[in-house]
Copies of this chain bind each other. A is one copy, B any other.
Amino acid sequence: MTLQEAMQAVEAKMYEIVNSDVDVLRDASRHILQAGGKRVRPRLLLLAYAANGGQDFASVVPVAAAVELVHTASVVHDDINDHGVVRRGRPSVNAIWGRTFALLTGDYLFTKVYELMAPHRDLNVVLSEATVALVEGETLQASAVKNNDFSRQVYYDIIARKTAALFRSATRLGALLANAPESIVEAMGAYGFNVGLTFQIIDDVLDIVADSEKLGKTAGVDIAQGRGFAVAHGGMGQPGGVAVVEETFDDSMVAIRNKVMRGGAIDEAYRQAETFAQMAIESLRPLPDSPAKESLIEMANAMVKRER
């Protein structure tokens, strides 16, 4: 099975497992899955597995699917809290089915994760830790907005938990499934963690500079909700800065966006993202050369340059 085939098998596995006879759960789950997404996390897991000598892609597909489902579930719940109406270029579950069913669909997807992970004793711990971190990161973010305390330190704590922890678990799981020694598992975790930081910083930049159509989700959400890189680095949301808590993207939001774009925050974001990408690549040093290792290096670099 090639990487390409494995990624298709991950897709099929996710689609197949959300087979509830309760129409809403099945339809809403498949709606969000069919909308696609970048599938970065399962790809990282598979590459980490291959880069450590793993050869049986078929056996790791369910775990890769589980990692992506954690992300998918969190996305469905995020769109409730953020009032996001566009996700992956389609209406969000929340927009189509409403809040109650979106909440239940997210719960359903989270539950299916553990159905997939049930046979994997120790790996379960790795994924549940990452899922706890993800929920904690989302909570810290909502608290920071509420308390108008979006300092840089808080920003990094948030993205470490809400994004980088799941990336870290993906690459650790790949290494563990390939029976890599502990030091390598940790090195792979460091790679995933730093790639996750890169990914989230660029995500936040794109939220500022891209429009919704290109992005495939509601743009400007971070500024509208008073959070994210722009707010942490642009002086908004901090004492003495411009507090941004409205949830509609009106003219004042455009003004703030323009202000951020004129300032140095975007450049700083790219520098930070580049630094984390290089740290990620550095973590791969102990691995022997292989096509999978090359792909991991390419992915870290591409993460800085992505436009959606």
The residues of A with any CB-CB pair to B shorter than 8 Å are 20-25, 74, 77, 80-81, 99-101, 103-104, 106-108, 110-115, 117-119, 121-122, 124-125, 127-129, 131-132, 135-136, 138-140, 142-143
Contacts and interface: CB of A to CB of B under 8 A. Distances in A.
A76 to B, nearest CB: 11
15 contacts: A20-B132, A20-B136, A25-B135, A77-B107, A81-B99, A107-B107, A108-B139, A110-B111, A111-B132, A114-B117, A115-B125, A115-B132, A117-B124, A121-B121, A124-B124
Given A103-B103, A108-B132, A139 B77 contact: no
A137 to B, nearest CB: 9
A222 to B, nearest CB: 16
A92 to B, nearest CB: 15
A132 B107 CA distance: 9
Contacts of A129: 115
A111 B128 contact: yes
Contacts of A143: 22-24
A136 B22 contact: yes
Contacts of A125: 115, 118
Given A103-B103, A114-B128, A128-B115, A139 B22 contact: yes
Contacts of A131: 111, 114
Interface of chain A, main secondary structure = helix
Contacts of A138: 104
Nearest to A105: B139
B103 A81 contact: yes
Closest 4 CB pairs of A and B: A118-B124, A114-B128, A115-B128, A118-B125
A21 B132 CA distance: 11
A253 B136 CA distance: 40
A258 to B, nearest CB: 29
Nearest to A131: B111
B132 A112 contact: yes
A135 B111 contact: yes
A159 to B, nearest CB: 15
Contacts of A22: 136, 139-140, 143
Contacts of A117: 114, 124
